[in-house]
Structure 1
Amino acid sequence: MKFKRSGTQTLLSSVFPSLALAGLVAVSLTACTNPSTPAGEEGYVFEKPRVFGEGGYQGTMIGPANYGMSLWRNQVINIDMRPNTYTETFKILANDDLNISFDFHAVISIESGSVRAVVEQYGGEDWYPRFVRETFRTYVRDIVQQYDSGVLKTNREKIAAEVTARLKAYLEPTPFKLANVVVGNINYPAIVANAVEKKLAAQQLLSEKETQKEIARKDAEIRVEEAKGIAQAQKIINATLTPNYLQHEAINAQLKMAESPNHTTVYIPVGNNGVPLVKGTN
């Protein structure tokens, strides 16, 4: 007996290959990857685990670059190799037990060509918090606690140099290169800041008083010199006021008055040392 092939069977047999081909194309497209790395960064290319093959590390790139299309599940971890500033904020008890707040800034770069080591040995993108941060903070605390709070600001460069030296030695065998460490803002508690302001105000007032005192001293010196001058002048005058000189001056004064057309003066020509006594008529 022969069976006649139906139209439905014919349709299915023609549709299935098309669906299979479309599915294969879709899978191929979704499986393709093209990892890329931007400028200033290096890329660690790896393949995610799959049913067949080992996966894992595939290669590195120096940006800007593309790894290329691949049917495998290649992905990339990009690491910024350029110098970057990493800031840590502290509240530390100084040597005199005063709690001081301040910032430290470390400028760190990564050696070119070391992206594989950074990813596989130092935590990849998390290399700073996993490998550097706590050591950096420990060095800062150890060094700052050796100083009294009052001298922290004047010794900030010395403190930064000490932290830089210790952190550089720690990072020496690694791909991480420390450029420098900078001490940022140093903030004292409010009570200390107010005390400092009052002290500065008192010093300013004291300086003004000292200036006023100096001015008064100079004024006194001027008055003394003036008095000396007056005394000296009086001494000279007194030395010249002899009886004969006074008599001579009195006679000259009488002559001038006698020659005046409008005079009402009576002269009594007897007085001490021959000096006339003078009495007005009114």
Structure 2
Amino acid sequence: MKKLIFCLLSALFIISCTTIRQGEVGVKRRLGKLDPVVKGSGIHSYNPFTTTIIRVPTRTINLPLALENIPSKEGLNISAEMAVLYRIIPEKAPQVLTTIGEKYESVVIVSVFRSAAADVCARFFAKDMYTGQREEIEKEIAAEMHTVLEKRGIIVESVLMKSIQLPKGLAQSIEQKLEAEQQAQQMEFVLQKEHKEADRKVIEAKGIADSQKIISEGLNKQIIEYKTIEAFRQLATSPNAKIIITDGKTPMLINPNGQ
């Protein structure tokens, strides 16, 4: 009985447990050899004398990076603060540890990022990093990194440019140029508006002229006489006192009350 208890205590003594949290996997290393089957979240036991469990994060990691002297298309050197969002493919965690090691960030990710950033930025002008081309630069850097790192078990989700430091005087000249372009676009809008208003007035004047022409062409002697008779008839039915002077063709009304 005592021997059995001693054996159980000995077994418990040489067995350790570890907890794998959500957003990470465990890779068991036994006698220096990595187990290709990863351990999911939960409690896992192992022999601490022969085995260790390496935790590898599989959630999205934000890796901030500072770059200096990035070459632009016109040969200027630019500094930037950027960030790489990446994650490890869970089932490829043993491959990452085997081929790269636990310091995969500094060994591979940073190196690939610097190479991709230099390659992509060299295809753009310095002002492009300050304008709407910025998003395109981010996407191209991420695409180049993804091509290299995906087969190594690392997914690059995106690259973010936090801040750009242009050479002295260049940032101010770019801002002045952008302001001038905005003013030119505003002036073009105003001119287009004025042209449209001028076109509207021409069309309106043409419509009035056409209307008057139609009216003048439609008036003849019979219509004028008819309108005169109508005017006399309306005056005759009016209860107010009036003095009408006429040659029989057109009436002229005089108000005796002076109103």
Task: Look up the match of 1:179.
Answer: 157
Match of 2:29 in 1: 46
Larger Rg: 1
Q: Normalization by structure 1: what TM-score?
A: 0.52
- Equivalent position amino acid for 2:57 in 1: D
**Secondary structure at 1:159 match in 2:** helix
CA RMSD of aligned residues (A): 3.5
- Give the counterpart of 1:150 among 117, 127, 135: 127
Q: CA deviation at 1:81?
A: 0.7
The 1:147–1:55 alpha-carbon spacing in structure 2 relative to 1, beyond 3 Å, is closer
C-alpha separation between the residues in 2 aligned to 1:131 and 1:29? 40
Task: Kindly provide the amino acid, as one letter, of the partner of residue 86 in structure 1.
Answer: L
1:192 aligns with 2:170: yes
* Structure 1 residues without counterparts, runs of 5 or longer: 1-23, 48-53, 211-282
Q: Deviations over 1:238-267 (max 9, x none)?
A: xxxxxxxxxxxxxxxxxxxxxxxxxxxxxx
Cα distance between partner residues in 1 of 2:47 and 2:27: 16
Q: CA distance change for structure 1 residues 60 and 37 in 2, over 3 Å: closer, same or farther? A: farther
Aligned partner letter, 2:77: N
Q: Distance in 2 between matches of 1:196 and 1:169?
A: 33
Offset of residue 129 of structure 1: 1.8
Q: What is the Cα deviation at residue 72 of structure 1?
A: 3.6
* TM score, norm. by length of structure 2: 0.56
SS of residue matched to 1:96: coil
Structure 2 CA distance for partners of 1:58 and 1:143, relative to 1, 3 Å: closer
* CA spacing shift, 1:69–1:166, aligned 2, 3 Å: closer
Any idea what SS the aligned residue of 2:47 has? coil
| Partner of residue 114, structure 1 | 92
Identity across matched positions, percent = 19
Distance 1:141 1:71, change over 3 A: closer
SS at match of 1:97: coil
Task: Check if 1:77 corresponds to 2:60.
Answer: no
Q: For 2:48 and 2:174, how far apart are their aligned partners in 1?
A: 69
What is the aligned length?
177
**Residues in 2 aligned to 1:188 and 1:44: alpha-carbon distance in whole angstroms:** 44
Other-structure match for 2:115: 138
1:194–1:62 distance in 2 versus 1, CA, 3 Å = same
**2:66 is aligned with 1:89:** yes
Query: How far apart are residue 139 of structure 1 and its match?
Result: 1.1
Whether the aligned pair in 1 keeps the contact of 2:83 and 2:159 (CA below 8 Å) is yes
Q: Distance in 1 between matches of 2:13 and 2:93?
A: 28
Query: Structure 1 CA distance, aligned partners of 2:162 and 2:124?
Result: 17
Distance 1:59 1:176, change over 3 A: closer
3-state DSSP class of the match of 1:35? strand
